[in-house]
Amino acid sequence: MKTVHCASYDILRRHGLTTIFGNPGSNELPFLKDFPADFRYILGLHEGAVVGMADGFALASGQPAFVNLHAAAGTGNGMGALTNAWYSHSPLVISAGQQVRSMIGVEAMLANVEAPQLPKPLVKWSAEPACAQDVPRALSQAIHMANLAPKAPVYLSIPYDDWAQPAPAGVEHLAARNVASAGLPSPAQLGELAGRLSRARNPVLVLGPDVDGARANPLAVQLAEKLRMPAWIAPSASRCPFPTRHPCFRGVLPAAIAGISQRLAGHDLILVVGAPVFRYHQFAPGDYLPAGAELVHITCDPGEAARAPMGDALVGDIFLTLEAMVESVRTSARPMPEALPRPAPRADEAGPLHPETVFDVIDELAPDDAIFVKESTSTVTAFWQRVQMREPGSYFFPAAGGLGFGLPAAVGVQLAQPQRRVIGIIGDGSANYGITALWTAAQYRIPAVFIILKNGTYGALRWFAGVLDVPDAPGLDVPGLDFCQLGRGYGVRSVQAADAASLRAELARALAGDEPVLIEVPTLTIEP
């Protein structure tokens, strides 16, 4: 007799979900019984780190990642990390153990009351199967829902007595299914868009994370070159969709209404691809568009298209649409934009390093295809100015701004991309939210390099305190942290680099090795 348990593992195996990220409780043990030899279980010590690792794994692989959480409490612990996964279009299939069916109504210990409601609105779909025989079908639906555009987390609550029940007749068809989307705009739509671009006097390209998610970066380069367009990265950038030393590259737009209009002034057509219009942050009101400008928005997310406050939108597959646009537009006679000048090196004196110096050392030593997982919010601008990113999938940043992403995501990204080197650049304030991920890195010997920028304060909040005129806010400093001690306690080789020479030596040694390494770097505080 095939059980629900056996049928469900067949479905997971068929879709390549053989890595399970979790922290098990009693409700989850029946699912883990007879754990298949061709699966691997990645244990995290806190569900926030579990979801963060799975998020990094899904983003870096481009495929769904499977998460197993413990009932309501474990789901709650993972909700902060889930905000980042939601806004980054990360295809997480999240399962949570539920009490046995006969005990849910009396709210026995570990009953997840109204389980499908708990993770909303941070999931695309949420369910608890009506009976045990519907578990395999619901799991299949969850995988397809997570992976269809726009990709997003989904949630499935499963009573633990369901796993031993007999599977329904015909369950074998579920494992054989393929579900794919076809999102190419019509010839008329493509022709209209190509015409607008060709007629534009001074068009500009704004690229978002879904371009990198679709691995359409080379197509964005071809389109920018063909139309001689400057290329900006959309504000609140969580990925890098365009090579940062290309002549067309112009940097990251500010996350403010007025700031965006100022940067794009003089352009008559703004083409936004793979990003919301726009992910604002600080409140700086103004005109949504510069005078005389029109905006066209290409997105895979109908919600992003519908809620935008301005412009025309086209919902479709990012890769296919860019590919068609490159073929449709005529090469412009405009001159190619000139590359931005590179910033001069900082002259460091004795004491904490300038973050700019840290980034110059990283840029010098990192492999060409290095992947940077960054969660130091006060150093974003300096990083983009100084670190070269060439390849698709080279940069990940918390898409919702929620702290705790960096350390776990670096572990997950390295698991998904073992052939590339992952360098996590984490602020000391951020690091504590996901510090337990160091244990996972040590136990599974995941050779990510973690660089902790230690300035003793929440640097971005320091800046915001000035912007919002709150100079006396408490709780902005985090003194007394020793990340070398913390790292060693979790089993990670940990060193301090107090000057550029020692940072260069320690980073080179870490990149030459095959184990996780933490490098603590005392730094000055700068503005984002």
Q: Which residues are catalytic?
A: 25-26, 28, 47, 70, 281, 401
Name the residue among 82, 69, 66 with its Cα closest to residue 143. Answer: 66
Which H, E and C letters describe 423-482, residue by residue? EEEEEHHHHHHHCCHHHHHHHCCCCCEEEEEECCECHHHHHHHHHCCCCCCCCCECCCCC
The pair phi, psi for residue 207, each rounded to 5°, is: -115, 145
Q: Give, for 366, the enclosing helix (H) or strand (E).
A: none
The token pair that represents 86 in the structure block: 């939601």
Q: How far apart are CA 429 and CA 234, in angstroms?
A: 25
Q: How far apart are CA 208 and CA 181, in angstroms?
A: 21
Specify whether the CB–CB gap between 154 and 93 falls below 8 A.
Answer: yes
Q: How far apart are CA 237 and CA 487, in angstroms?
A: 29
Side-chain half-sphere exposure of 283, counting CA atoms within 13 A: 1
Lay out the sheet containing 125-127: strands in order across. Answer: 40-43, 19-22, 65-69, 92-98, 154-159, 125-127
The token pair that represents 51 in the structure block: 């979801």
Q: How far apart are CA 408 and CA 521, in angstroms?
A: 19
Cα 33 to chain centroid distance, Å, stands at: 32
346 Rama class: left (phi>0) / alpha (psi -120 to 50) / beta: beta
Question: Which segments of 23-134 does DSSP mark as H helices, in order?
Answer: 29-32, 47-61, 71-87, 101-104
The pair phi, psi for residue 217, each rounded to 5°, is: -55, -45
Helix 71-87 / helix 47-61 crossing angle, nearest 10 deg: 40
Max Cα–Cα distance, the chain, nearest Å: 73
Specify whether the CB–CB gap between 22 and 51 falls below 8 A.
Answer: no
Q: Which residues contact 11 (CB under 8 A, 6 or more apart)?
A: 136, 139, 140, 143, 174, 175
Strands, E, within 122-224: which ranges?
Answer: 125-127, 154-159, 203-207
Strand partners, 92: 65
Specify whether the CB–CB gap between 325 and 195 falls below 8 A.
Answer: no
Name the residue among 372, 379, 388 with its Cα closest to residue 356. Answer: 379
